[in-house]
Amino acid sequence: MPEINEKAPAFTLPDKDGKMVSLSDFAGKKVVVYFYPKDNTSGCTRQACAFASAYNEFSALGVPVIGISKDSSASHAKFAGKYSLPFILLSDPELQAITAYGVWQEKKMCGKVGMGVVRTTFIIDENGNIEKIMNKVKPDANAAEVLEYLRAGK
């Protein structure tokens, strides 16, 4: 996993419409990049809806929000449509960004051990460096915690 003050790993991934989006597209802006396990699961839906509810506040601060999972662009399109998600969702089925950010880890679910995405949020500064890392975040509280952090820094 990259460290605070290190250059954020670059990525270029397709969004829900298949349009390629790169981290470098946001140079000069602070950006929130959050990794989540799977579209349409209870925790991931609550987390996405919390970011959607706070979207106007993120916009007012000039901070884009990007959600990344290994789901397909088609899955993201359905997920975004079903819950009116206004922010960017990127598809990473090859685990390019997921592994670069160190969020593909061993997890325990229902007594079984397997690999999966550990819910993690990164705040990347205007120079493309990692400013803050929030590990194993709670789906319901993550968006509010990020906003609180961003407001404190303004």
List, for residues 13-34, the tens digit of each pLDDT value.
Answer: 999 999 999 999 999 999 999 9
- CB burial class (10 A; 0-12, 13-18, 19+) of residue 67? buried
pLDDT > 90 in the chain, percent? 91
Note the pLDDT tens digit of each residue in 119-154.
999 999 999 999 999 998 999 999 999 999 999 975
Among all residues, which ones are annotated catalytic? 44
Domain limits of the chain? 12-153
- 111 pLDDT higher than 90: no
Q: Given phi > 0 = left and psi -120 to 50 = alpha, else beta, which region is 94?
A: alpha
Quick one: which H or E segment has residue 44?
helix 42-53
Under 8 Å CB-to-CB from 54, ≥6 apart: which residues? 143, 144, 147
Q: pTM for this structure?
A: 0.95
pLDDT in tens, 44-69: 999 999 999 999 999 999 999 999 99
Q: For the domain 12-153, what is the CATH code?
A: 3.40.30.10
